[in-house]
Amino acid sequence: MDDRALLDLAIGGLAVAGWLLAYGLARLVTRPASPPPDPATPDLGAEPPAVVSLLVNRWQVTEDAAESTLLDLAARRFLELRQPAADPMRTTVHLPSTAPDESGLRPYERRVLSRIRGLAVGGVVPLSALTFRDEGRAKSWNKRLRAEVVADARAAGLSRRRFGPGVTAVLVTLAVLAALGTGAAAFHYALWSDSEDNAAFPVALVTFMVLTGIAGLSPGERDTPLGRQVAARWLGVRAWLRGHEQFAELPPASVTVWDRYLAYGAAVGATRLTSAVLDLGMGNRALVWSSFGGTWHRVRVRYPRFWPRYGRPLSNLLVRSLVCLAIGAALVWLLPGGLDSLADIDGTGRRAPDPVGDGIFAVGALLLLFGLYLLVRALADLATERTITGEVLWLEVWNSSSQGNDSPPRPWLHYLAVDDGTADRTTAWGLPSEWASRCQDGDTVTIRVRPWSRRIVDLTVVGHGRSRQLTEPATGDLGPTPPTGAPGPVPATPRAPVTVELLTVEEVTRALGQPVRTGDAMALGGVIGGTQYLSAERGRPLLLVQTVTGAPARWAWRANSRGQELPGIGDGAYASGDRAALRLGDTTLVLTLLGEARGRHTYLPWLLAQCATRLGTERRV
């Protein structure tokens, strides 16, 4: 390379390196302080635990902020933690029958409380069921919570931006100088090289945009004089809490005894056991909580991966089987050394050894057997399709395929784990990725599946889960309010979900042929209601009764108005397998047989008639 080119490259490189050096010095100068702790003290301050977590962790919001906020809500009687056995992992969260005054709650405290209320079934949710099942929602929820904690700390004068206006202005000015340096180097290179295209301006512009973009990124928070003073006091509280060895081994339910001390202990990192139990991040996909059936229970989920049949459509399996049969037949009958090698017998009456021919024959025979096995199982899989209704436990990408042209891979298959209430273990199904947007975790779905290939061939959402109510932020700016009198759609007022008892326990017991009891009632979004009938002996779900009103009722009717028509029941009724539906006015009712009750579908028309009678009575009232 020419010396002049090296000189121009060095000038441009030094200009950028000078800016990066200044940026590094700015980060070094503005790094958060680590104040020495005050003497150990049991005196708590007025700062909330989430802000305390920020201060003692050098102005970084960690997972302790959300966890300590939950414990603080329990200490202030907004919720209750109960541990029914010796295992802290079995701790449950209970909401009080009468909610305390929430006017003094901070935004992040409302966020945590809203998540608990949204997931609770009958006012109860297992503590370890508060984790997320979708990575995007987990990141969004925690990001908003961190922003709310930082805003609270800034409002109290305990924290500030790490790069203030002065530092940012200096970095932008230096970025202008660096851009001029790279632009001058590019201009000089174009002059002596007789280049027709002078790239000085584009080079300078790109340099300026990149460097100012880096300067605009927030590197976090830093201390203030008041913040350092308060942090030192809380470090003294941490020293006092760590001086009690038994404090680190306290379970979450001990908040009833230790009151807010346990919450602040979690905030400063002094509660080993409690912090290990509490988690508001991503959950474990192999052990998922389910509320299907009206009671919380954990389900172990297996995710098949290695066998090529899993999630594959029938056409793919048939093509594979035919290819194996064709190649196997060619090796056995057509290629030299196939069947002919078996007749290669010498004069002594014994077959001469032929390792190559024997190997070819063995491979061909194995391919024939595998192709035949694949063909038979694929056709049997088609003949043994079945329908399952249950709660969506987990949904994530299984397989992706590249689209070429350096484009990112596009998913074509998703895992879908469903709990149908029949066992505490299940295996995820293969869901075509174009259907993945239809459902979310917690939804009640009916899927038609092929058991051997674990392939879903049809999916219908029959009830929306509680997670849909938690996708929007619990607090925060939701955008500008439309001006008064501005035209726009007027939302319809949905009819309240049906509250009358549509079926008695005696009627369901007679229809299903075994004693039953009712589970917890459901009311989702103000338009979907439902009741589950459980086995009186084993507590397993047997019958799901769902009522849908408003616009969702029309969608539910379209999805369920198929099969055998049942005249004379409501405004229309149909039965299809283990499911039956009726329409009455703006309400759609769906009955679904579950678990051991499957096969008792001959009683569904009678159960529908009972529901129609009582539903009509309620509508007249």
Beta strands across the sheet bearing 124-126? 80-82, 92-94, 124-126
Are the beta carbons of 84 and 124 closer than 8 angstroms? no
pLDDT at 84: 82
Give the number of other Cβ atoms within 10 Å of residue 319's Cβ: 14
560: left (phi over 0), alpha (psi -120 to 50) or beta: alpha
Confidence of residue 545 (pLDDT cuts 50, 70, 90): confident
Distances (CA, A) of 64 to 55, 272, 309, 325: 12, 11, 44, 60
pLDDT at 218: 83
> Residue 322: in which H helix or E strand, if any?
helix 314-329
Q: Between 355-383 and 314-329, two packed helices, what is the crossing angle to 10 degrees?
A: 160
Distance CA 183, CA 134 (A): 46
pLDDT at 493: 39
Residue 574 forms beta bridges with which residues? Answer: 565, 581
Backbone angles phi, psi at 4, to 5 degrees: -65, -35
Pairing of strands 564-565, 573-576: antiparallel
pLDDT at 491: 37
Confidence of residue 134 (pLDDT cuts 50, 70, 90): confident
Mean pLDDT of 473-494: 36
Q: Between 505-512 and 604-620, two packed helices, what is the crossing angle to 10 degrees?
A: 160
Distance CA 48, CA 50 (A): 6
SS3 429: strand
State pLDDT tens for residues 218-253: 888 999 999 999 999 999 999 999 888 788 888 999
pLDDT at 9: 85
1-23 in b/e form (b: 16+ CB < 10 A) is eeeeeeebeebbeebbeebeebb
Average pLDDT across the chain, whole number: 83
Give the number of other Cβ atoms within 10 Å of residue 499's Cβ: 11
Q: Between 3-29 and 165-192, two packed helices, what is the crossing angle to 10 degrees?
A: 180
- Model pTM score: 0.63
Backbone angles phi, psi at 509, to 5 degrees: -60, -45
Distance CA 46, CA 616 (A): 57
Are the beta carbons of 617 and 597 closer than 8 angstroms? no
Confidence of residue 489 (pLDDT cuts 50, 70, 90): very low
Mean pLDDT of 379-408: 81
Where is pLDDT greater, at 66 or 495?
A: 66
Distance CA 119, CA 529 (A): 16
Confidence of residue 481 (pLDDT cuts 50, 70, 90): very low
Backbone angles phi, psi at 368, to 5 degrees: -65, -45
Residue of 462, 130, 51 whose CA lies nearest to 296: 130
pLDDT at 530: 74
Q: Lowest-pLDDT range, 105-119, 433-447, 549-563?
A: 549-563
Q: Lowest-pLDDT range, 285-299, 342-356, 586-600?
A: 342-356
Give the number of other Cβ atoms within 10 Å of residue 517's Cβ: 16
SS3 396: strand
**DSSP per residue, 239-255:** HHHHTSGGGGG--GGGH
